[in-house]
Structure 1
Amino acid sequence: MSWRATAALARERTGELVVEEIELRDPRPGELLVRIAGVGFCHSDLMFRRTGSPVPLPVVLGHEGAGVVEAVGPGVSAIAPGDHVVLSFDSCGGCESCGRAMPAYCARFRELNAVGTPPDGSAAARDSAGGAVGTRWFGQSSFASYAVATARNAVRVDRDLPLELLGPLGCGLLTGAGTVLNHLRVPVGSSVAVVGTGAVGMAAVMAAAAAGAERIVAVDLHPGRLELAAELGATHCVLGDQLTPATGRELLGRVDHAVDTSGAPQAILAALAALGPGGRLALVGTGTGPVPIDPSTLAGRQVGFVVEGEAVPQTFIPELLALWREGSFPFERLVTTYALDDVARAEVDLTSGRTVKPVLVPAS
């Protein structure tokens, strides 16, 4: 059996995504077919197109999907048709990192998430001309009305939740909140600086507030985002165009922890300069070049790069939903919904900063 889906395809590395009809095969062992209710648009979906990634074209992007399971492949027993799921990153389950409950550092992470095709190289989908289409971006390729995912990257959630809004919990929100709660383990009464308040940074701000941080400094180039960050828990706001290594301590104050989502060397050095003794800086953003660090500035401080918030999606996504139910993680305030057919406008609004987290909703 095959399944017809509407999908936003990347057919070239520049230009707009193209909405077309594709045909998906039935799920194989360990896989499941999900009818997508909503999918977040993440900066990682843009990075693929801007960095010359070797992912074969055409490919369906999207890796923050949520939806209803329509069918499962052989061997899938923990998830059944009709279940509501959030889709996160994929992992092998058999390597040392997975065995230590650190799937974000899976030995096969790139193979399973950043290649866009199943590990065996087979075609999970065909376009209207019969050509192969990549549909395993981050184990899901959910810029579509249906997606083939794996049992390992699907997290079952309660059916009373607003399913169309939950997708960003699978990556961007998981990354920001997980960096604060899992990696930094921010304690009550501490101070935190968050550089960049896109979806990842906003999640970090909300998580720091939920953890009981006393001072939360948000930094961004967009005044409107800083206003929202203040409403979500930031106690101090700083315009990013004022931030340099020389002004880092002055503008941010002395902080116990810092999270950089920008990847900008100047911002990273500024955050490092603001760290007090024993301070820790978590890097999440990528792509703007090497960072020249004088080793002496690391005295008594720690810097690390964090992947996917060091989360185990099956346990951490329910934790975030519990915080949401308590009113401590109101992620819906970051979301603006768009029809899947309007994917081009969603991309423009994301890159311009107009929208913190676009969520694409396929036609029902």
Structure 2
Amino acid sequence: MDIKAAVTHSQGEPFKLESVQLEDPEFDEIRVRIVAAGVCHTDVVARDLGIAPFPIVLGHEGSGVVDAVGSGVSDLKPGDHVVLSFAHCGNCGNCLTGHPTVCDTFNDLNFGGAMDDGSRRLAQGEQSLATFFGQSSFATYAIAKSSNAVKVDPDVDLALLGPLGCGIQTGAGTVLNRLKPEFGSSIVIYGAGAVGLSAVMAARIAGCQYIIAVDVHDSRLALAKELGATHTLNGKDVDVMAEIKKITGGGSHYAVETTGVPPVVKQSLNALRPLGTVAIVGITPEMNLDIHNDLMAEGKSMIGVIEGDSIPRVFIPKLIAYYKAGEFPFDKLVKFYKFEQINQAFEDSASGMTIKPVLKIA
């Protein structure tokens, strides 16, 4: 079928809305009419750093309505509301033990540009187009594995839910699924973007006594306070490490580092108390650490977390339930854009003007 999609033809170029051909879903696949898609930093990395092949249709936080299903799909049907999340094989040891975010073939399936059998579902004439995250949701329709889709509550605004598939579940899941902070413990969130603010809301749900948000934008820190932060620190104005140790009485039990900025990463480690743990979720370049003084000498832990160590079909409905109960108001992060405004949405995200842009596609 003919669809409209935002095509990226080469590294770093702006998105272009163009006509694209989409194949029918195969045995274990579904076709989804995309209602909305979140804009995520991973899309920026794919566009600008070339971590996936070109030409490509990006987008990996899609939400929509199932339009058609393959003959082998029994758990979803046309008309179901779904959120699309990351691709995973479902068969490796990590998938089978509840850790699909570290699937043995995660990178191939999400960044390799093709489905698991090596085929592609998108084309322009004779030119095939690469798929992103097993969905390519910057389009009016998308093909995905049924296992890559999460059936969601039809009573909730579907346009709002796409970011749950990646950025929101990354922040919330890092706290609730991986760190699992004890009631009354302390946590510092470095970076008050969509991922960081999702972590703030999750830390409040977990019952942390001290929830400290660190950023350099006062407007984002104000929102962090509204969403559950007990303290906020502007890194341009204060000695962050000294303030954290003063607030917590010696350093935080936990930290979530979302910025990927090496000095901030090191700060997140140094501001921990002995036996503290920092979860790294930002894309961080090569950097130097003094392993003995920064890490080992006080028994600290630094861990990497992908997609919040989530099982999307289990975790995303939980987040929606918290949202409906008024305990996870992630809608306060979102600003909607028309599909035709996709390049503006990316610019506003990069400038910090918008925390979480979401493209309304249908």
TM score, norm. by length of structure 1: 0.95
Q: Can you list the C-alpha shifts for 1:160-185, whole angstroms capped at 9, x where unaligned?
A: 11100100000000000000001100
In the other structure, the counterpart of 1:275 is: 272
- Runs (4 or more) in structure 1 with deviation over 3 Å come to none
Shift of the alpha carbon at 1:91?
Answer: 0.6
Amino acid at match of 1:312: I
1:323 aligns with 2:332: no
Shift of the alpha carbon at 1:50?
Answer: 2.7
The counterpart of 1:82, out of the listed 65, 79, 86, is 79
Once residues 138 and 353 of structure 1 are traced to their aligned partners in structure 2, the CA distance between those partners, rounded to angstroms, is 25
2:262–2:284 Cα contact (<8 Å) kept: no
Once residues 4 and 227 of structure 1 are traced to their aligned partners in structure 2, the CA distance between those partners, rounded to angstroms, is 45
Matches within 5 A, 1:217-256: 217-242=212-237, 247-253=239-245, 254-256=251-253
Once residues 196 and 181 of structure 1 are traced to their aligned partners in structure 2, the CA distance between those partners, rounded to angstroms, is 18
1:171 aligns with 2:166: yes
Partner SS for 2:174 = helix
Amino acid at match of 1:46: V
1:150 aligns with 2:149: no
Partner SS for 1:166 = helix
2:11–2:49 Cα contact (<8 Å) kept: no
Shift of the alpha carbon at 1:293?
Answer: 3.3
Once residues 359 and 288 of structure 2 are traced to their aligned partners in structure 1, the CA distance between those partners, rounded to angstroms, is 35
1:248–1:271 Cα contact (<8 Å) kept: no
Partner SS for 2:64 = strand
2:13–2:47 Cα contact (<8 Å) kept: no
Matches within 5 A, 1:255-294: 255-294=252-291
Amino acid at match of 1:90: A
Partner SS for 1:148 = strand
1:248–1:273 Cα contact (<8 Å) kept: no
Amino acid at match of 2:188: A
Shift of the alpha carbon at 1:152?
Answer: 1.1
Shift of the alpha carbon at 1:242?
Answer: 5.0
Once residues 51 and 349 of structure 1 are traced to their aligned partners in structure 2, the CA distance between those partners, rounded to angstroms, is 19
Q: Can you list the C-alpha shifts for 1:264-323, whole angstroms capped at 9, x where unaligned?
A: 111111111111122110000013332423323322211100011000001000111111
2:349–2:357 Cα contact (<8 Å) kept: yes
Shift of the alpha carbon at 1:187?
Answer: 1.9
Once residues 116 and 61 of structure 1 are traced to their aligned partners in structure 2, the CA distance between those partners, rounded to angstroms, is 10
Shift of the alpha carbon at 1:220?
Answer: 1.1
Partner SS for 2:43 = helix
The counterpart of 1:131, out of the listed 127, 130, 134, is 127
Q: State the identity %.
A: 45
Partner SS for 2:82 = strand
Once residues 240 and 66 of structure 1 are traced to their aligned partners in structure 2, the CA distance between those partners, rounded to angstroms, is 35
Shift of the alpha carbon at 1:248?
Answer: 4.4
Taking a change above 3 Å as real, the CA distance of residues 38 and 233 of structure 1, as seen in their structure-2 partners, is same
2:43–2:59 Cα contact (<8 Å) kept: yes
The counterpart of 2:64, out of the listed 48, 67, 74, is 67
2:82–2:149 Cα contact (<8 Å) kept: yes
Matches within 5 A, 1:5-44: 5-44=3-42
Once residues 46 and 123 of structure 2 are traced to their aligned partners in structure 1, the CA distance between those partners, rounded to angstroms, is 21
Shift of the alpha carbon at 1:118?
Answer: 1.8
In the other structure, the counterpart of 2:105 is: 108
Shift of the alpha carbon at 1:12?
Answer: 1.5
Q: Can you list the C-alpha shifts for 1:34-93, whole angstroms capped at 9, x where unaligned?
A: 00111000000001123232x221111010001000001121111111100011101101
Shift of the alpha carbon at 1:240?
Answer: 2.7
Amino acid at match of 2:304: F
Q: What runs of 5+ residues in structure 2 fail to find an aligned partner?
A: 246-250
Q: Can you list the C-alpha shifts for 1:100-146, whole angstroms capped at 9, x where unaligned?
A: 0100010010111111222333231122x442112x31110000110
Amino acid at match of 2:33: R
Shift of the alpha carbon at 1:188?
Answer: 1.6
In the other structure, the counterpart of 2:352 is: 353
Once residues 167 and 263 of structure 1 are traced to their aligned partners in structure 2, the CA distance between those partners, rounded to angstroms, is 24
Q: What runs of 5+ residues in structure 1 fail to find an aligned partner?
A: none
Matches within 5 A, 1:324-343: 324-343=323-342
Partner SS for 1:138 = coil
Partner SS for 2:133 = helix
Q: Over aligned residue pairs, what C-alpha RMSD do you find?
A: 1.3
The counterpart of 2:187, out of the listed 177, 183, 192, is 192
The counterpart of 2:211, out of the listed 213, 216, 225, is 216
Once residues 331 and 337 of structure 1 are traced to their aligned partners in structure 2, the CA distance between those partners, rounded to angstroms, is 13
Once residues 50 and 72 of structure 2 are traced to their aligned partners in structure 1, the CA distance between those partners, rounded to angstroms, is 36
Shift of the alpha carbon at 1:6?
Answer: 1.1
Q: Can you list the C-alpha shifts for 1:8-32, whole angstroms capped at 9, x where unaligned?
A: 1111212311111111000012110
1:264–1:289 Cα contact (<8 Å) kept: no
Once residues 242 and 103 of structure 1 are traced to their aligned partners in structure 2, the CA distance between those partners, rounded to angstroms, is 40
Once residues 138 and 122 of structure 1 are traced to their aligned partners in structure 2, the CA distance between those partners, rounded to angstroms, is 14
Partner SS for 1:67 = strand
1:36–1:145 Cα contact (<8 Å) kept: yes
Once residues 58 and 28 of structure 1 are traced to their aligned partners in structure 2, the CA distance between those partners, rounded to angstroms, is 23
2:174–2:279 Cα contact (<8 Å) kept: yes
Partner SS for 1:241 = coil
